[in-house]
Amino acid sequence: MKAVKLFLGLAFAIVASSASAQDFSGPQFAKWGETVEQRKENISASNFLKDELAARNFNQAAMYLQQLLQRCPGASENTFANGISLYKHKINRAKSLSEKNVYVDSLLHLYDLRLEYFGAHPKRGKVYILERKAREHLTYREGDREGIRADFEAAIAAQVEANGTANPELVAIYFKNLCDDYQNDIVDAMTIVNAYDANSKYFANLDETQLEFKKQFDTCFGASGAASCENLQKIYEAKIAAEPTNEALLSHVFQLMTKANCESDYYLSVGELFYAAKPQTSTAMLLAQLFQNRKDFDKAKHYLREALLNESVAEEREKLLVRIGILEMAANNYAVAVKALTDSINIDETDDDGLALYFLAQCFVAGSKDCSTELAKHSVYWVAYDYIQKALPLLEVTDAATAANAKNLANSYRAVFPTAEECFFAELKEGSTYTVNCGLVKGMTTQVRFRAQ
């Protein structure tokens, strides 16, 4: 150890003598002091600070740091880079909370001084300094919630001022902490909603490496509980009233209110404005469901049929026709429902839709009331059963809950098949082909089957 100290001492002496040998009278050294002697001392102190830090002599390094901060704080950016490193070491080695707090205060103050003297640095100026300070504040003084928020907001504002946008990672960290504060009753719901609204624009047009930050941002908002329908309406009602055709604004608000599971009149009005600004099948489907929930079937069908007129993608047309069929069935318009559901299947006859087949079967059964005899009514169930059987394997892949319901329906239909006696008197043999002559399945062929006794 003595040898190491001797070596370091010799090294420092060499540095000091080297500094002494230089001529510091030139104007480029003016930042180090007013006199040549002061400049020599301060440049030596800068060298010693770096060396003592490397040697982990932190107390000695701190003395040199204080000398530089008092005499020539604007002389070198390295004063602050080394000083920040020094105080991080001292924070990690602190023996008490009070001692640690003193060092954290010093660390944060160093960032303030660095901003004062080197805020205009082309690479490591205001933007760099404020972001580093915000991150350090969160790391070393997590309990100072107000101070952390202030530092992150200052860092984000600096980035926007310099670049027109903000680092999505930094914004995600800030917003996550803001949501934590809401959960702990430190800030109110409107603070969260306003912050989400103000910062959402920084997550537009991200590359794939940054999409995770948008996910974090949106997840925090959704999980916070602050985005109630009432709060969202308070925030956006005046904005939308001022710009009722602003597609981007309407899209943003409609998505927010959808995520909040809104069902209010205002939510529906926003959805209708958004559809008017940008007609899309997905929006029409959602509006139709909302109006269907309110038993306003006419309004629901209006949006679905309007979307159908404008939709050219076969798969989307199938979905729209199925939804139209379901709505018409709910409104007891069984013939119209059968037409829509059949049209959906006919779009691609090689790829049946289990849901369409499932609802067609129910429409057929509902239409059996128009059959004049019991045998004729019961024969409709043969066709309905055929459709349910075709639907089952498809639904088991796409919709397990509906598949379970379909199995129950199939059993109930079997229970209504004509009896063996009915078929005997009608001269119908089990397994023979039969053409139904009534109801919505009139003209369809099926197979004679007896009701299980």
Q: Could you report the per-residue pLDDT of 399-450, keeping only the tens digit for each?
A: 999 999 999 999 999 999 999 998 999 899 999 999 999 999 999 999 999 9
Q: Could you report the per-residue pLDDT of 10-58, keeping only the tens digit for each?
A: 344 444 444 555 788 888 899 999 999 999 999 999 999 999 999 999 9
**What pLDDT shows up at residue 174?**
98
Q: Could you report the per-residue pLDDT of 262-304, keeping only the tens digit for each?
A: 989 999 999 999 999 999 999 999 999 999 999 899 999 999 9
**What pLDDT shows up at residue 10?**
39
Its pTM stands at 0.63
**What pLDDT shows up at residue 11?**
43
**What pLDDT shows up at residue 228?**
86
The Cα 182–Cα 360 span in angstroms is: 50
Q: Could you report the per-residue pLDDT of 59-107, keeping only the tens digit for each?
A: 999 999 999 999 999 999 999 999 999 999 999 999 999 999 999 999 9
The Cα 249–Cα 452 span in angstroms is: 61
- Candidates 255, 251, 263; CA nearest to 222 is 255
Report the helix count and the strand count for the chain, using DSSP H and E.
21, 2
The rounded percent of the chain whose pLDDT value lies above 90 is 78
Where does the pLDDT of residue 139 fall: very low under 50, low under 70, confident under 90, or very high at 90 and above? very high
Q: Which of 149-163, 231-245, 258-272, 315-329 has the highest mean pLDDT?
A: 149-163
* Residue 321 near residue 344, CB atoms below 8 Å: yes
The Cα 318–Cα 254 span in angstroms is: 25
Can you tell me which residue has the tokens 């079997």?
Answer: 414
Is the pLDDT assigned to residue 356 strictly greater than 60? yes
**What pLDDT shows up at residue 21?**
55
Is the pLDDT assigned to residue 193 strictly greater than 50? yes
Q: b vs e for 353-391, b when ≥16 Cβ sit within 10 Å of the residue's Cβ?
A: bbbbbbbbbbbbbbbbeebeeeebbbbbbbbbbbbbeeb
Determine the length of the chain: 453
The Cα 286–Cα 289 span in angstroms is: 5
DSSP element (H, E) containing 278: none
Where does the pLDDT of residue 351 fall: very low under 50, low under 70, confident under 90, or very high at 90 and above? low
Q: Could you report the per-residue pLDDT of 201-236, keeping only the tens digit for each?
A: 999 889 889 999 999 998 898 888 888 898 889 888
Phi, psi of 447 (to 5 degrees): -125, 140
First-last CA distance in the chain: 101
Query: What value does the mean pLDDT take over residues 296-318?
Result: 92
* Residue 253 near residue 232, CB atoms below 8 Å: yes
Is the pLDDT assigned to residue 8 strictly greater than 80? no
